Amino acid sequence: MLMKEKDKDQHIQELLLLQRVAQKINSILDLDILLEEIVGDVAETFGYTRSGVLLKDNETNELVIAAVRGWTINFHMKGERFKIGEYGMVGYAAATGETYYSPDVTIDPHYAVSEESTRSEVDIPLKKNGELIGVFNVQHQEPDAFSPERIKLLESLAHHLEIAIDNARLFLKERREKERMAGELKEAHNIQTNLFPKKAPLIPGFNVTGICLPCLEVGGDWYDFIPLSDGRLGLVLADVSGKGMGAALLMSSTRSLLRLVANTNQHPKEVLWQLNEILIKDFPSTRFVTMIYAVLDPKEQTLVFANAGHLNPLFINSSGINFLETSDGLPLGIAGSSFSECKITFNPGSRLVFYTDGVTEAMNTSEEEYGAERLFKHLSNPSASIQSILNDVQIFTKGQQQSDDVTVVMIETT
């Protein structure tokens, strides 16, 4: 016998409902919105008086109304709780873990009145890996309104709900974890920012400036100004291998150690040697630090620096512009090393620039590096500053995302 036209239309509507629910599972990850839309769709498609989803609170062993459609304001509303096994058909279905159908709730021993007009009700437990996570509840004002075929369809719909709830909870967990991590990164960023000098040091006859732009919330580049005895100033620029939180933690510990060693007033090469001996023991085998440590003596108008595997600084004076090299010095934390020093004398108009590879290795859209030659050329301009260097790099990269920390320190006579 051919399916009646009305039954065929209803069957099509049921299939479309299942399709819509499946689509919503993949497109709506907010659990409250998702459940409200599904229970509303179920009520409208089947003409049921009421439908709802109750979720299990594992801490209290209660069912909590998460989404409802059709209840009056005088009865059960979203957020209301029921003890599993103690209240009504939903509690009974939750306790047994089996679908429970009452064709006539007026004579059902498990029924607890919620709406006076309800005459038939079906409650379907929702599970994940065999464990109860909630109950799908549907009611009708007519007796025996749920055929066996309709109950099977609702059970199929309940399975979609199980998937939806699980997906939404996973999404919520991931979102909260991301929010937690973002909060921690923000706090770490604030802490690291406070480790950088808050203002330029006041050194007679000199202007000393520095800037650091991490490519992530936190990074492994840093610079520092350390007041020493007799009006001298210790200057450091360093780059911990790697990026992110790990590099930032190593940067912080290295900074503390350097300040401790530097305050013993040793020569730069001795400071780096002692620091290296400590880091060899403490640093992870895959990490290292490149560093320049210098001591500026404003009375003598001199600066002495030692270099631990870092990029050669640029010195600009009346004789021209030159990269300054030292003969010895491995990056810190790898192996034992000796360090040599370079001493320079400042004259009027002299400038010395320390920088990290975030400057020279910055790439444009053609994957071409900014390079040492462009930096050399830019610093040939007497008006060049740390800000003009950053501006020049940004113009070169043409909005390309920064891929490494960028740090520059400049010492110039006034």
Q: Are residues 230 and 283 in the same domain?
A: yes
Q: Are residues 266 and 312 in the same domain?
A: yes
Q: How far apart are CA 13 and CA 4, in angstroms?
A: 14
pLDDT at 224: 94
CATH of the domain at 148: 3.30.450.40
Domain end among 142, 170, 198: 170
Say whether pLDDT at 117 is over 80. Answer: yes
Note whether residue 176 is domain-resident. Answer: no
DSSP state of 56: E
Q: Are residues 142 and 288 in the same domain?
A: no
Average pLDDT on 117-134 reads: 93
Q: How far apart are CA 205 and CA 88, in angstroms?
A: 86
pLDDT band, residue 258 (cuts 50/70/90) = very high
Q: Are residues 145 and 263 in the same domain?
A: no
Q: Are residues 208 and 161 in the same domain?
A: no
Structure tokens at 280: 């060899």
- Lowest mean pLDDT, pick from 27-41, 122-136, 139-153: 27-41
pLDDT at 74: 54
Q: Are residues 126 and 257 in the same domain?
A: no
What are the distances in angstroms from CA 21 to CA 50, 57, 184?
A: 18, 24, 37
pTM: 0.65
Domain end among 114, 137, 170: 170
pLDDT at 28: 65
By DSSP bridging, strand 81-83 and strand 62-69 are antiparallel
Number of structural domains (the chain) is 2
Q: Are residues 84 and 201 in the same domain?
A: no
The gap between the terminal CA atoms of the chain, to the nearest Å, is 102
Q: Are residues 231 and 370 in the same domain?
A: yes
Q: How far apart are CA 52 and CA 410, in angstroms?
A: 68
Q: What is the pLDDT of residues 351-364, one digit of tens each?
A: 999 999 999 999 99
- CB–CB of 314/376 below 8 Å? yes
Say whether pLDDT at 302 is over 90. Answer: yes
pLDDT at 217: 67
pLDDT at 2: 46
Beta strands of 266-337 (E only): which ranges? 289-297, 302-308, 314-317, 320-323
Average pLDDT on 160-173 reads: 84
Q: Please identify which residue in the block is written with the tokens 């650091």.
A: 212
Q: What is the pLDDT of residues 210-239, one digit of tens each?
A: 998 877 666 778 899 999 988 999 999 999
CATH of the domain at 369: 3.60.40.10
| Domain containing residue 279 | 190-413
Note whether residue 181 is domain-resident. Answer: no
Q: What sign for the dihedral angle of Cα 88, 128, 45, 15? A: negative
Q: How far apart are CA 203 and CA 413, in angstroms?
A: 10
Q: How far apart are CA 131 and CA 352, in angstroms?
A: 68
pLDDT: which is higher, 106 or 87: 106
pLDDT at 247: 80
**Average of per-residue pLDDT values in the chain:** 87
Return all residues near 362 (Cβ < 8 A) that are at least 6 apart.
Answer: 369, 370, 393, 396, 397, 400, 402, 403, 404, 406
The length of the chain in residues reads: 414
